[in-house]
Structure 1
Amino acid sequence: MPQTTNTILMIRPVHFRMNEQTAVNNYFQEDLDIKNAEINLKAQQEFDAFVDKLRAVGVTVIVENDKKELDTPDSIFPNNWVSFHENGDVALYPMFAENRRAERREDVLNRLEEAGFRIDNIIDYTSAENEGVFLEGTGSLLLDRINKKAYCALSARADEELFIEFCEDFDYAPIVFTAYQTVGDKRLPIYHTNVMMCLAEKFAVICLDSIDNKSERKQVMASLKADGKTIIAITEAQMHQFAGNMLQVQGQNNQRYLVMSQAAYDSLTAAQIAQIESFCPILSSSLETIETCGGGSARCMMAEVFLPRA
């Protein structure tokens, strides 16, 4: 069961802007004082440069364009609505923001089949939206595919019962906790697990300071250590620069890379960089506009394709 893949699905934006519907509980988003058309153009430039960097090291990137007629400002983050699994299963997820639900597109799945991948079964959790229950894909779920464990920081976008249901359906052992960030003078839940934690084959980058409950923090650390993973701890300030929002991918000759934004890279200490690079090279790209307006970074932009070949 591989932890990493060399095939990534990415959605090129056409209406990228700050999504007012997600800003209510995504405290990473900020308003840029420029017109939406200019924001979208900058986001497209960052997207294209990022795709070029991934392809240059041998990562297969399947780019699908967003559709103009859909008002989907966050379509650049496809990992929240879909996940693709080794056994041919595809999971579709319930989304907190109403204007994100139109991101789920059958034609995107068709495109993967046309590219030679096999989809045997679609497991659809989206009816949970009718009950106001959400679980936003691999934003909410961090999957340790080798050890069959799933990590989830509970929030308005990650429901515990639905998370347990996912784990039963896909045969993962659930590890549940809550992660917080300081907003003003309050500690509020972090909207997605994948901004405070990254799981790679042999290591994990994690903001332990965000897990306020000591027993939960110990449980997460014990689980990672039991699987032989090196823990690379980041600070809350580094997390706010998206240093938790990273993804390990495979390039040419099965070479692993840890992919992150330039802001994330710049926030790391020399010791942290050396620790990561003892496992694999780092690939970084500037995603400043996407991070500022979208409140998501490199990991959110990449939907990993683990599907079998047809």
Structure 2
Amino acid sequence: MIRSSVQAPGAVVMVRPHHFTVNTETAADNAFQAVVTAKDGEEAEYARRAYAEHSRAVEVLREHGVRVHVFEGEDPTTPDCVFPNNWFSTHAGGHVAVYPMKAKNRRLERRQDILEMLKSEYRVQDIIDYSGLEPDGLFLEGTGAMVLDHINRVAYAVASDRTNPVALERFCTHFNFEPMVFEAQDGQGTSVYHTNVLMCIGTGFAMIGSGMIADPARRAEVLARLGETGRNVIDLTEAQIAGFAGNAIELMGSEGPILALSQAAFEVLTPEQRSRIEAHAKLVPLEIPTIEMAGGSVRCTIAGIHLASRG
């Protein structure tokens, strides 16, 4: 029996990439992407490695008792299909959201078969589709754009082209979240493209690169809000954020909560930080270095299922 948690889902959706490559349409505002000039034959090798990394990550999560619904990403026109958390999210009470995406080729990632699976395997009451906002240039890229505190109903969001305030306000009104928006940038002044590379919220802890929040007063407000929840707040350095330490997700395994993160993220955490996390969740590093070249890490590859199972 898969245990459930308001914050840490025991089931997830993952899309295994068959044609992985670094998406040139998203490179302009994603400083986390690698600059790749593939020579003849190398693209096929990247795709092979990404497929293998993803397959192994699924195995490891299943070994820890997470229910993983794997879909095959066989469409060569969707290089970022491995990151499904951007186009849909699920919520307690049977609610699903579908999101407007900035890059045109990312809009092709939306899949009816995934939504149908959710309806057949879980209790879905409604699906609210915001993708009609795309022609108006209003984007909100799911749980990449927002890091959701499901317990305290706060949607943390870095201001960017991928997080439109109108779309965010509509989501928060429909799903009963309070928006908390802030500017964040790296040491070169480049804006952070997605909130989920900057911070992670678990049941009893949170990790955040607070030093990258531009306005000191707003930084204090964000930290205070996280602190008010009683969570153990772990501050991450900019270097740790660059190593994807913030791009992690708490899941519910068969023996309790786990924190799924990449091996690269695990390695940039200090022993003291790991110890603080492990007071709340077991660390489960997944090796996905090829996939990380696309500018996202473990959190981006996982769409949590916060729905009641029909089984």
Q: TM-score range by the shorter chain?
A: over 0.9
* 2:123 is the counterpart of 1:118: yes
CA deviation string 1:4-26 (max 9, x = no partner): 11101000111110100011101
Q: What corresponds to 1:301 in structure 2?
A: 301
Give the AA of the match of 2:29: N
Give the AA of the match of 2:205: F
> Identity of aligned pairs, percent?
41
From 109, 112, 115, the counterpart of 1:106: 112
Q: What corresponds to 1:249 in structure 2?
A: 251
Q: What aligned pairs does 1:46-195 form with structure 2 within 5 A after superposition?
A: 46-68=53-75, 71-114=77-120, 116-182=121-187, 186-195=188-197
How far apart in 2 are the matches of 1:124 and 1:181? 32
Q: What corresponds to 1:231 in structure 2?
A: 233
How far apart in 1 are the matches of 2:57 and 2:292? 13
How far apart in 1 are the matches of 2:176 and 2:37? 46
Give the AA of the match of 2:176: D
State the Cα distance separating 1:108 from its structure 2 match: 1.2
Q: Give the CA RMSD over aligned residues.
A: 1.2
From 21, 25, 32, the counterpart of 2:25: 21
State the Cα distance separating 1:33 from its structure 2 match: 4.7
Q: What corresponds to 2:203 in structure 1?
A: 201
Q: What corresponds to 1:45 in structure 2?
A: 52
In the superposition, the TM-score normalised over structure 2's length comes to: 0.95
Count matched residues: 303
Q: Which runs of 4+ in 1 moved over 6 A?
A: none
State the Cα distance separating 1:269 from its structure 2 match: 1.0
Q: What aligned pairs does 1:271-286 form with structure 2 within 5 A after superposition?
A: 271-286=272-287
In the superposition, the TM-score normalised over structure 1's length comes to: 0.95
What SS does structure 1 have at the residue aligned with 2:274? Answer: helix
Query: Structure 2 regions of 5+ residues with no counterpart?
Result: none
CA deviation string 1:8-55 (max 9, x = no partner): 100011111010001110111113454211111100011011111100
Give the AA of the match of 2:17: P
What SS does structure 1 have at the residue aligned with 2:275? Answer: helix
CA deviation string 1:166-189 (max 9, x = no partner): 11111111111111113xxx4121
CA deviation string 1:79-104 (max 9, x = no partner): 00000111111100011110000100
State the Cα distance separating 1:107 from its structure 2 match: 1.1
Quick check: 2:16–2:72 contact (8 Å CA) kept in 1?
yes
Give the AA of the match of 1:152: A
What SS does structure 1 have at the residue aligned with 2:190? Answer: strand
